[in-house]
């Protein structure tokens, strides 16, 4: 057996047919951000990260169509070569305006934004201090950078401080990374306290707002805006793949000329840029986020209802109300059964089993959308009630 | 050096016993392949070690560590500096 054959055999042995078949579940779109067809039946989509429900918004679709029609299907090049169209510059200008910040860069995915920014900022002399629950792309960016990587306990400011204290003599090389909303349990970082500690040790701070962009803050800029600490965050990374309803990543910084660092961001330099239609969609999404703040309000209304109802049923939900409502279950088989039970009741959620979920536990992870109606949320609540009973 | 890291080895074996109570682990065992800790449990073990010995353990070092003895030696080295 060669390497590839052996790896395939290992995986075949490690995963049951059940798991393999779940991986192949497809969702057929049905002309709505929150309805789809899954395993032959119509379902409410409650696990899509489509927080603002913009995937069928007429302004986004028209922008995409116009750009596709006028400028073609792809850029066929990296941002550093032929891949910078006026559209990309316009998107970065729109980001600067949205964030009221002097520097912005658009990447092809959020994953690449993390690889590019982290490995661009840190080299072998760098020291990274990551929240334990940071996303895979942050860990991969950290590994790619060659920096020394430490983690602190999830959302534990005392542990962060203890570690920063030990790293005092290297403070000039330290980058702390946290997220706005953590994707599995939907909890937020204690960002004001984190900023206090980070400031007192004089180290740099990056916040990945992937799940909080469009969701938190007076104008949807994320947790830093919500906590009033935007001036203390050195760089924000985000994605257009959730609230902005398309695909792509970005970073924004209050430091002038932060964008000069793009030369060191290999994920920016050596990958083709986003196609014009997607860039136009993302730009339009920024406009809609600003123009339709009621979407954020509706999202939180839905979050409060579902979170409250599931907590009242005695289900183990996350530590705070959030558009991500995750129920922790102790055994993976029970979780698979429950997931099928919800699907039978017409509700699609994400099933997360070990090792993706910690401590051998499993999660039924809901992400709500502004496009869910009260009736949709009622149906979700009823579906959960049926699996509890 | 690994023979000298007795305190570190015994402490790590105790922690492994707390994380995986059903396994009879020896210090020569491969932490993941033989003892069977998941990558997340390995990180949990590192947290316990960091607290116990008041050190910072770089995740980079994990790439070269297979056995409890190797981990104990790495921890001892971090404590000695
Ligand atoms: C915290 C976090 N960062 C980055 C990403 C990657 O974003 P993208 O889907 O744009 O690659 C995700 C999404 O999966 C995420 O949850």
Bridge partner list, A363: A328, A352
To the question of pTM greater than 0.90 for the whole model, the response is yes
* Domains of chain B listed by start with CATH number: 3-80 (1.10.1200.10)
In the sheet that holds A235-239, the strands lie side by side as A103-107, A249-253, A235-239, A204-208, A174-179, A127-131, A148-152
The band of A329, judged by pLDDT with boundaries at 50, 70 and 90, is very high
| For residue B1, pLDDT beyond 60 | no
- Give the model confidence (pLDDT) of A55-66 as tens digits: 999 999 999 999
Share of chain A above pLDDT 90, in %: 90
The band of B3, judged by pLDDT with boundaries at 50, 70 and 90, is low
- Give the model confidence (pLDDT) of A95-111 as tens digits: 999 999 999 999 999 99
- Give the model confidence (pLDDT) of B33-60 as tens digits: 999 998 889 999 999 999 999 999 999 9
The band of A143, judged by pLDDT with boundaries at 50, 70 and 90, is very high
The runs of H, that is alpha helices, within chain A are 3-14, 17-23, 58-71, 86-99, 110-121, 136-145, 157-166, 191-201, 223-226, 266-269, 276-291, 294-312, 332-344, 374-388
Would you give the end-to-end CA distance of chain A in angstroms? Answer: 49
**Mean pLDDT for the stretch of residues A131-156:** 97
| For residue B75, pLDDT beyond 90 | yes
**DSSP string for residues in A201-256:** HT-EEEEE-TTTTTTSSTTS--HHHHTT-GGG-SEEEEESSSTTSS--EEEEESST
**Mean pLDDT for the stretch of residues A211-216:** 98
Tell me the fold of A13-45+293-388: 3.90.1150
Mutation choice for ligand 1 from A135, A180, A271, CB with most ligand atoms inside 8 A: A135
The pair of structure tokens assigned to A33 is: 């951000």
Tell me the fold of A58-291: 3.40.640
| For residue A239, pLDDT beyond 70 | yes
Residues 6 or more apart whose Cβ sits within 8 Å of residue A203: A129, A164, A167, A171, A174, A175, A176
Say yes or no for a CB contact (<8 Å) between B39 and A359: no
Q: Domain ranges in chain A?
A: 13-45+293-388, 58-291
Say yes or no for a CB contact (<8 Å) between A151 and B40: no
Closest residue to A355, CB basis, from B38, B56, B57: B38
| For residue A22, pLDDT beyond 80 | no
> Do A58-291 and A13-45+293-388 have the same topology in CATH?
no
Q: What does the pLDDT read at residue B2? A: 47
**0.85 surpassed by complex ipTM:** yes
């Amino acid at each position: 057996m060669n390497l590839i054959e052996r790896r395939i055999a290992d995986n075949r042995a490690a995963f049951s047919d059940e798991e393999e078949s779940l991986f192949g579940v497809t969702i057929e779109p049905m002309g709505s951000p929150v309805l789809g067809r899954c395993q032959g039946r119509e379902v409410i989509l409650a696990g899509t990260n489509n927080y603002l429900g913009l995937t069928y918004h007429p302004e986004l679709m028209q922008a995409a169509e116009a750009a596709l029609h006028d400028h073609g299907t792809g850029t066929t090049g990296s941002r550093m070569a032929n891949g910078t169209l006026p559209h990309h510059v316009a998107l970065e200008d729109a980001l600067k305006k949205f964030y009221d910040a002097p520097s912005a860069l658009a990447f092809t995915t959020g994953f690449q934004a993390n690889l590019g920014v982290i490995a661009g900022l840190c080299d072998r002399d760098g020291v990274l201090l990551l929240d334990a629950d940071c996303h895979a792309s942050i860990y991969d960016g950290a590994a790619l950078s060659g920096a020394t990587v430490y983690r602190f306990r999830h959302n534990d400011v005392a542990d962060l401080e203890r570690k920063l204290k030990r790293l005092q003599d290297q403070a000039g090389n330290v980058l702390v990374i946290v997220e706005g909303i953590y994707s599995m349990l939907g909890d937020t970082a204690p960002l004001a306290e984190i900023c206090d500690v980070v400031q007192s040790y004089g180290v740099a701070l990056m916040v990945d707002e992937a799940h909080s962009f469009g969701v938190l803050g007076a104008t949807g800029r994320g947790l830093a805006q919500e906590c009033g600490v935007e001036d203390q965050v050195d760089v924000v990374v985000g994605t257009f793949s959730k609230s902005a309803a398309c695909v792509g990543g970005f970073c924004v910084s209050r430091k002038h000329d932060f964008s000069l660092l793009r030369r060191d961001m290999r994920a920016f330099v050596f990958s083709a840029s986003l196609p014009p239609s997607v860039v136009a969609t993302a730009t339009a999404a920024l406009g809609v986020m600003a123009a339709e703040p009621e979407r954020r309000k509706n999202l939180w209304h839905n979050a409060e209802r579902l979170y409250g109802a599931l907590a009242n049923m005695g289900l183990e939900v996350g530590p705070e109300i959030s558009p991500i409502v995750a129920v922790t279950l102790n055994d993976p088989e029970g979780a698979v059964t429950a997931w099928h039970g919800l699907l039978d009741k017409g509700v699609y959620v994400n099933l997360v089993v070990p090792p993706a979920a910690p401590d051998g536990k499993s999660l039924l992870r809901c992400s709500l959308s502004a496009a869910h109606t009260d009736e949709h949320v009622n149906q979700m609540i009823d579906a959960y009630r049926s699996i509890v009973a | 050096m690994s023979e000298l890291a007795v305190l570190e080895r015994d402490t790590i074996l105790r922690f492994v016993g707390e994380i995986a109570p059903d396994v009879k682990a020896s210090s020569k065992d491969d932490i993941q392949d033989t003892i069977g800790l998941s990558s997340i449990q390995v990180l949990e073990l590192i947290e316990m070690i960091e607290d116990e010995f008041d050190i910072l353990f770089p995740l980079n070092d994990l790439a070269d560590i297979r056995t409890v003895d190797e981990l104990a030696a790495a921890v001892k080295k971090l404590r000695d500096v």
